[in-house]
Amino acid sequence: MQYVYRRCGWLLALGVIVASGSFAAAQPNIVLIMADDLGWCDTSNPLTTRGHASDFYETPAIDRLAAEGMALTNAYTNGPNCAPTRAAILSGQWAQRPTNNIYQVDHLNRGGPDTLLVGPRQGLPRGDDALPTKTFTYAEHLRDNGGYATAHVGKFHVATSGRPITQQHGFLENMGGGRAGAPTAYHCNDGEFGPHISSSLDRFAGFYSQDYVDRHIKPYARNQSPESIDQLVGTPIHVSDAMADAATWFMEQHKTKPLMVQFHPFAVHTPIGNKQARRDLLAKYQAKTPGDEDRNASFAALIEGMDQSVARLIDYLQTTDDPRNPGQTLDKNTLVIFLSDNGGKQPQSNNGPLKGQKGELDEGGIRVPMVAWSGNPTLVDRGTVNHTPVSGIDLYPTFAALAGAGLPEGVTLDGADLSGILADAEATLDRDALYWHLPGYLIGGGRDQHPQSVIRAGKWKLLYNYEDQSFELYDLEADLAEANNLASSNPQMVRELGARLIEWLADTAAPLATVRAGELEVEAAGPYYADGEIREASGTLTLTAGDEVPLVLPAE
């Protein structure tokens, strides 16, 4: 299902009448925190993971947000790795839209020259996983129609360089973002973080001083001695700390306006190792008894370093007076969203009971920890757990609705407004299903992703495999691990969900993988999707090199 919105200008009711003792939410500040490659069970909170918390990694700040705010247990990203999720959040669109067109990192043929099928071209001709500059991002919309001061801090990935982030994608400030998907190193060197971290963050590079450590590290440390933390003095600053410096600096400079801060840590993406960890945290985890599931000390140090940067942002919001709302602090008019950009990369990451990992459309690749938090109970129903399936693609319409910004004229948004369910855990979301489409390959590094389309509707998840025209059907309520394929025992559900998947592909004119060479025979028995439309056939379809391989329903 798609949602086409028209610009309706500024809403009159920017204030919300609330019960006595609460605060009105007027153009709330928005802080979007998106960790990189953090697996579903890489945090120590049991709320977002249905009890599957890490037995080694510690994330006290994220745990606190989950306990005080809303923990979302069925949260998804829009692609199995970094770039498609970031593109979908910024554009509010499925990958197949021309102003998105990013399905995975790099390109769609990461399976070598001998795969059965060939994926289509994605992204820009000179930047395969970069957003078109004509894309009207949520940052542009909040800036132009909500008067927001907008900042990006950290990893961006879906631009050809740092320049489009501020010149075309709607951010007043960019601090660290560029084309690269991974940092070459987590610590600065000679006053620079580069080359894969944009020089726009270098103003926050340098060395830890005693004053810095006392003010910005010790208050957020857990289970560490002051002496171990003091050993940081004189060493190069870690990028996770520099990012917190950058974000709080921006908020302090622009707090007289509504704020939108896109805070995207580089952690916990590779490289991972002792040199990348902050030394005090590495020493802590090297001395800690390993867990039964998790035991990687350098990975744990990256996770907790990122968590401490989150703690600093929340502390700033809770201790800073709000110039727009005298008598209250910024947190009383701020929505914070925390999530990961995709599932964890094995072996260091922990996706718990979920099948698969980063790069795959199994649950382990696309289900992520997600939390909504605010100091204002009219924005987030505090202390709740919500099982509604939600997706990163929902953030654009959600932020626009909360900002009172209307919705952009002539722009197709594919997500749903989550503001209602965030404010009330008992509310329902008017959406029939979530969808994924990946018409290419990612094989290697433990991943084995082939061309697939996926639908999740209610408890059911259906996957279609284009190479052999097979279906997989899972009941995610009873089978979170996707271990029991019910396609053969429930053909009616396969046909029902498959028909909806066909309609969605046609509605979005989704491109498909094509035959590499020779001939491929496909048996059709009714409606099928290919070449941008739904067709009817009964019998054998003979495909040759360059032909799209269709999604066909099984015979009744």
Segments forming the whole domain that contains residue 137: 3-183+239-430
Same domain, 350 and 490: no
- State the average pLDDT over residues 497-522: 97
Same domain, 269 and 301: yes
Tell whether 425 and 478 lie within a shared domain: no
Statement to judge: residues 161 and 40 lie in one domain:
yes
Number of domains in the chain: 2
Residue 217 placed within a domain: no
Shared domain for 462 and 400, answered yes or no, is no
Percent of the chain with pLDDT over 70: 96
Are residues 365 and 493 located together in one domain of the fold?
Answer: no
Contact criterion met (CB below 8 Å) for 418 and 425: no
pLDDT grade for 385, boundaries at 50, 70 and 90: very high
pLDDT at 15: 33
| pLDDT of 21 above 70 | no
Residues 383 and 502 in one domain: no
What are the residue numbers of the active site? 82, 157
What CATH number does the domain containing 463 carry? 3.30.1120.10
Quick: pLDDT tens for 216-272. Answer: 999 999 999 999 999 999 999 999 999 999 999 999 999 999 999 999 999 999 999
Let me know if residue 513 belongs to a domain.
Answer: yes
Are 384 and 516 part of one and the same domain?
no
Q: What does the angle CA 536 – CA 537 – CA 538 come to, to the nearest 5 degrees?
A: 140
What is the per-residue burial (b if ≥16 Cβ within 10 Å, else e) of 269-283? beebeeebbbbbbbb
Query: Is 374 part of any domain?
Result: yes
Is residue 19's pLDDT more than 80? no
Q: Is residue 489 part of a domain?
A: yes
Checking if the pLDDT of 527 tops 70, the result is yes
Does residue 22 have a pLDDT over 60?
A: no
pLDDT at 127 over 90: no
Statement to judge: residues 404 and 513 lie in one domain: no
pLDDT digits (tens, 9 = 90+) for 328-347: 999 999 999 999 999 999 89
Task: Indicate the average pLDDT of the chain.
Answer: 93
What average pLDDT does this structure show over 202-211?
Answer: 97
* Residue pLDDT, tens place only, 298-312: 999 999 999 999 999
Q: What average pLDDT does range 18-43 have in this prediction? A: 82
222, part of any domain:
no
> Per-residue confidence at 126, pLDDT binned at 50, 70, 90?
confident
- As a 3-state breakdown, the chain gives helix, strand, coil percent values, each rounded to 5, of 25, 20, 50
Strand order in the sheet with 447-449: 109-110, 441-444, 447-449
Indicate which CATH number applies to the domain containing 409.
Answer: 3.40.720.10
Q: Are residues 514 and 393 in the same domain?
A: no
CA distances to 79, 96, 135, 186, 394 from 91, rounded to whole Å, are 14, 11, 6, 29, 10
Task: Report the pLDDT value the prediction gives residue 18, as an integer from 0 to 100.
Answer: 38
